[in-house]
Structure 1
């Protein structure tokens, strides 16, 4: 990645060098473990409370998503909390899609379950990594003292310890948000994306390749274009190479820019919508004219095209999109894999700000994706019936 410096960059050359030197020093002298007996009673109790609170909210996608939003409302300087909230909403919608009208006709029950476990594991891992950081920041604010030296005892990367220290001193909200994007995607890389189990059961399957081919991988942010309408518009972006760490980080940066750097109106409009619509996991949350949490399709009927340009055809039932609580049971996760992902300081090159993301208009692409999935369902049924003849 080529780096250039100018006055309008969020991170200056001096800051870049400072962060680089700190990371190099920490990585060189990184202890193999962080035993809690070296801490005071108060520090050990704080860590225990943080872990307990994190566990309380890390039950399912709905509880995690709400926890992010509540934290942002309390600490709006932590931009990633809102970005994480909106992206986590999308994670929940993808989870319930697996039990909705469309994907149940394209994926087997085993594929649905494998895809859900893949999405759920990633959602769970990110929360158990990032939420303790937020809680430690809250306590640092309450006692007016930098406590980020405790992050390694929460199995948080030394990368984020360095970034939080920088944020505590300089208050750069954008840099902290982008660093968190880098951290969370890097944290997932070995634990989910390159994990042999998920590569075998999800990423290397025909079902996932179909999923990717249909471009059913949009990240959408509903927002009110004006306060007089009940139907929100959509902005967002699309991830084309899910397995690429580079592409996931760049997507996170674009989505951050979309929320916080385009216009203040976008941020206010997204917040207005999110406040009015608590996350349930059903796509009815944003478009109840097209989706419904009750299945309106009569049993035994073949699927027929229902939509055109994200409007229902006359007389067509809405697309079934169940709430998360009716789609999937809560999962008891095995403990997160240990280890610090950080081993190369050059990852900080992603902190250098790109040009502001000028895109975001996703309505048409999203509508075409739904129509493409409907076409695939109908074609699959036609092939199946032909084979039966």
Structure 2
């Protein structure tokens, strides 16, 4: 089995070495049929790329049509978490800890990343779908959609060998590398978000927890501790894949949960006993602690967690920055399958994060009240 994996990676490396980087657009060489189809891809992608809810829904619908495209479901679940992070900024606790300007900066950071990933990956899905219809690979059209040459090689490999794991992890590598210069290394986001909120993001917010709800209110997931590290984000993606796909029963439970709980952006989607889309607390002081071990204390109202559509208006994004991130053949080594068993236990850690966040919000409100 080990030799087979080595052969697979060598095959991919050799194919990448053969390819000279083309210009990112060869539209002048397109025949009318391909030109029309690419325009259709752009239009359909834009129709689904309106906000986090529409993107998240599109990922799930594609996965249900093509369950071998594992990233579509992994992306769906991670995108749910992105939506929860967005609505937290207008929820119960963060408005007490951050100014409007700070919360807007964090939202713009999250929204830009969510938007960029979708406009890169969803055209890949649509081209794969059309390739199936025509019974021939059309991935040579990727360059006309500004998609990395790395993914052209990977999709051609998938077409021939049908390895869902390699395709999914390659998409993790691609999307995180795609974001690196456009968002993570962007000077504006460095100044307004990452440098300013590094401690806050890592140690106080639930932004670093990726939650996979399943069954009757249960959670699995993983935690990211170095958000700015491309290497750590790719490794997180591999761990999330292991949690989600290595246990077929858990995967089916999670898919069933996703199908029966349409994404709204509110954390009520997975814990209605703890969160609500309307405010239940009494305005003003006192503001007593309500949480203990992810349960409400007697008589306490639920935590406010609004729907995305009630929290944020849709944003018109500027065009994605051009350029191919791929410049190092060694990234292929991430495709090696890890044998480490990961159980995904996260509920206790997540509960402690919520309690810390509530405590910080109560302390801040008390200080403001006393002043």
Q: TM-score range by the shorter chain?
A: over 0.9
Alignment partner of 1:105 is 2:96: yes
* 182-191 or 368-377, larger mean C-alpha shift: 368-377
User: 1:307 maps to what in 2?
Assistant: 291
Corresponding residue for residue 316 of structure 1: 300
SS at match of 1:315: coil
Structure 1 residue aligned with 2:203: 213
Higher helix share: 2
Give the 3-state SS of the residue equivalent to 2:221 in structure 1: strand
| Other-structure match for 1:291 | 275
Q: Provide the secondary structure at the position in 1 that maps to 2:178.
A: helix
Q: Which residue of 1 aligns with 2:131?
A: 140
Cα deviation digits, residues 125-175 of structure 1 (max 9, x gap): 000000000000000001101100001111000000000000000000010
Q: Deviations over 1:181-208 (max 9, x none)?
A: 0000000000000000100110011x44
Equivalent residues of 2:285, 2:369 under 8 A apart: no
The structure-2 alpha-carbon separation of the partners of 1:352 and 1:82, relative to structure 1 and needing over 3 Å to count, comes to: same
Which 5+ residue runs of structure 2 have no aligned equivalent? Answer: none
Partner of 1:334: 318
Task: Flag the 1:128–1:33 CA change in 2: closer, same or farther, 3 A.
Answer: closer
Structure 1 residue aligned with 2:358 = 374
Paired residues for 1:146-295 under 5 Å? 146-205=137-196, 207-214=197-204, 216=206, 217-224=208-215, 231-261=216-246, 263-295=247-279
2:336 pairs with 338, 352, 355, which one? 352
Matched residue, 2:17 = 24
Residue 40 of structure 1 pairs with residue 31 of structure 2: yes
Further displaced range: 64-73 or 100-109 = 100-109
Q: Does 1:128 align with 2:113?
A: no
Contact 2:264 2:307 in 1 (8 A): yes
Task: State the distance in 2 between where 1:85 and 1:71 align.
Answer: 10
Give the deviation of 1:385 after TM superposition.
4.6
Q: How big is each residue's C-alpha offset from its partner over 1:224-263, in whole Å with a ceiling of 9 and x where there is no partner?
A: 1xxxxxx3200000010100000000000000011111x2
Cα 1:73–1:33, aligned 2, differ >3 Å: closer, same or farther?
A: closer
Please name the residue that 1:114 is paired with.
Answer: 105
Does the 8 A contact of 1:215 with 1:240 survive in 2? no
Verify the 8 A CA contact 1:295 1:320 in the aligned structure 2.
Answer: yes
The alignment of Structure 1 onto Structure 2 pairs a total of residues equal to 370
RMSD value, Cα: 1.3
**Shift of residue 375, structure 1, vs aligned partner:** 1.4
The residue aligned with 1:14 is 7
Q: Look up the SS of the partner of 1:100 in the other structure.
A: coil
| CA distance, structure 1, for counterparts of residue 260 and residue 285 of structure 2 | 35
Residues 94-122 of structure 1, C-alpha deviations (whole Å, 9 max, x = no match): 00000000111111111110000000000
**Alpha-carbon deviations, 1:311-351, whole Å to 9, x = none?**
00011110000000000000000000000000000011100
Q: Residue 86 of structure 1 is aligned with which of 77, 80, 89?
A: 77
Deviation track 1:33-70 (CA, whole Å, cap 9, x = no partner) reads 42312011111111110000000000000000000000
Query: In the alignment, which residue of structure 1 is the partner of 2:40?
Result: 49
Aligned partners of 2:37, 2:264: CA distance in 1, in Å? 31
Equivalent residue for 2:50, pick from 49, 59, 64: 59
For normalisation by structure 1, the TM-score amounts to 0.93
How does the TM-score come out when normalised to structure 2? Answer: 0.97
Whole-angstrom distance in 2 between the partners of 1:178 and 1:357: 17
Q: Mark the CA change 1:314 to 1:8 in structure 2 (over 3 Å): closer, same or farther.
A: farther
Contact 1:156-1:340 at 8 Å conserved across structures:
yes
2:211 alignment partner, SS class:
strand
- Residue 61 of structure 2 is matched in structure 1 by 70
Distance in 2 between residues matched to 1:357 and 1:98, nearest whole Å:
34
- Which structure 1 residue ranges, 5 or more long, are not aligned? 1-6, 225-230
Q: How many Å apart are 1:383 and its aligned residue?
A: 3.8
**3-state SS of the aligned residue for 2:324?**
coil
